[in-house]
Chains A and B, each alone.
Chain A
Amino acid sequence: MTESSNTDERLRASEQALRASRHLIQRITDAAPATIYIYDLVRQQNVYSNRNIVATLGYSPEEIVAMGSSVFAQLMHPDDLAQLPERLGRFATASDSDILELQYRMRHADGNWRWLFSREVIFARDEAHQPTQILGVVQDVTTQVEALNEVQRLNLNLEAHVQERTSQLEAVVHELEAFSYSVSHDLRAPLRAIDGFSRIVWAEYADQLDADGREYLRLICDNTRQMGQLIDDLLAFSRLNRQPLQRQTLAMNDLVSRALEGFTREIAERQVYLTVQDMGTCQGDPALLRIVWVNLISNALKYSRQRAQAEVTIGVRQVEGETVYFISDNGVGFAMQYAHKLFGVFQRLHRAEEYEGNGVGLATVQRIVQRHGGRVWGEAVPDQGATFSFTLPINL
């Protein structure tokens, strides 16, 4: 009596626990923001789904079960249907802890395709341990997938736009370079003639000219030479853009020494205190960087020549983790309000009578440094000196 009432007691308790457990599962599946279903691999049909499937596919769980084994044939996108056997086949070798994920399209009762993302696990196995049922949790990811597709489409469009613009710009740049090259090239021919004939007149007919005539002829010769130099510089400048960069590891002091070779006489003849610090190695094109130093040194010497005692310092310093090469002089400097004009082609901050030059040097420097991925700038105090600095990124 006591025993059986104990048994009844336990039975009631476990039934209650079971009901509570079922109730919990029922309420979870009711509230889940996802479709939960059980697919029977043997009968090849859905045997259960929660109410959420109404929102996902527009059919009630009963309607889905009623579709029997044709549920996928009826609702799944043909492209995804083709992959179904392979997808279900994966369960044969899956363990109970595996979660298989898949994304596919199903047609909603309203006729629209919905992107679904499912996570499936093995729900039941037979005596031979073969999976017989799988449980899946499905979310409608149509909005996300379409947004992603849209982003990809826009990216592709953008990429295509950028490519189109880039090639247009490249074509224009190329055209301009070719134009400036051929213009400066063709300008040489008549200039050569002016130069040649005026030299002949100078050499063979000078005695037939009076003093004024000879002076004018000399001016013609001078100007012709200047224009020739200008064309040479322009050609060299346009060449800079067309030469490929030969990047290698270089000892910066070697480059400076070689650049200084062309100024040995000037430095010896004038009072120039030249200091070259130890600058270590850098990454760059040796021929182009030599041009950078030649131009910077030439400027430093040029603009300090009024000084009884010219001082030029070449070196390197670390500024906020960046290696900055510099050359400073105690020359005439320039007003910082014109600093933005320093690096433009043909821009000059001094009068030609005072300091010769055609405004290509610093433009060349800038072009070379930029091609190396670096920056160049100038700082000065009028009548006290100027410092030009540039950076060369190590890794590009």
Chain B
Amino acid sequence: MNEPQRVEILLVEDNPNDIRLTLHAFKRQNIINQIHVVRDGAEALDFLFGTGDYAGRQLEHGPRVILLDLKLPLVDGLEVLRRIKHDPRTRSIPVVVLTSSAEERDVVSSYELGVNSYIVKPVDFEQFTEVARSLGMYWLLLNYSPQS
């Protein structure tokens, strides 16, 4: 498994279209190198806790923010969220939930799992910039140089 050195953003998303659209949005801003994509909930947990294919991964290498889709194969997004928020190693990583409706957002917030923010899919960079600002993640924005 390819293991990036440092990961700023972990994108947990199974829909290939949404992955491409999200990566495209970030690529335009030259921050593709820092995004790691996992395709299901189980892989997300392996990556975050250094288990399975990611055994031995240096957990201090990030991610520094998690973009989490809710509908995921194997382990669903809510469960991933619950595990993240209940583990001291990952609890403080901001989680941005990717939603496809206001209703989905209501469902998640009803679980009171400490979601830091929401982004309506498809993820565009404008939205993400807004979220990054609101979460105080200026360091993420420092890494991109706007095209003109």
Contact = CB atoms under 8 A, between A and B. Distances in A.
B11 to A, nearest CB: 15
A192 interface: yes
Sorting the interface of chain B by its residue count into under 10, 10 to 19, 20 to 34 or 35 or more gives 10 to 19
Interface string A170-213: 00000000000000010011101101110010000000000000
Contacts, number: 33
Interface of A: 185, 188-190, 192-193, 195-197, 200, 232, 235, 239
Contacts of B24: 200
B148 interface: no
B103 A196 contact: no
A358 to B, nearest CB: 17
A188 B18 contact: no
B103 A192 contact: no
Interface string B19-35: 01100100000000000
A197 B101 contact: no
Nearest to B121: A192
Interface string B102-126: 0100000000000000000110000
Contacts of A239: 103
B129 interface: no
B21 A185 contact: no
B103 A235 contact: yes
A229 to B, nearest CB: 13
B103 A193 contact: no
A200 B17 CA distance: 13
Contacts of B100: 185, 188-189, 192
Interface of B: 15, 17-18, 20-21, 24, 100-101, 103, 121-122
B21 A193 contact: yes
B101 A192 contact: no
Contacts of B18: 189, 192-193
A346 B17 CA distance: 30
Rank and list the top 8 A-B pairs by shortest CB-CB distance, nearest first.
A193-B17, A196-B21, A196-B122, A188-B100, A192-B122, A192-B121, A189-B15, A235-B101
5 contacts: A189-B15, A189-B18, A192-B122, A197-B20, A235-B101
Contacts of B17: 189-190, 192-193, 196-197
A185 B107 CA distance: 14
Given A192-B21, A192-B122, 8 more contacts: A185-B100, A185-B101, A188-B101, A189-B18, A192-B17, A192-B100, A193-B21, A196-B21
A19 B76 CA distance: 100
A302 B18 CA distance: 36
Interface centre among A189, A190, A195, A232 (most CB of B within 10 A): A189
Contacts of B20: 197
A193 B21 CA distance: 8
Contacts of A232: 101
B119 to A, nearest CB: 12
A185 B24 CA distance: 24
A250 B21 CA distance: 46
A195 B122 contact: yes
A78 to B, nearest CB: 60
A319 B103 CA distance: 39
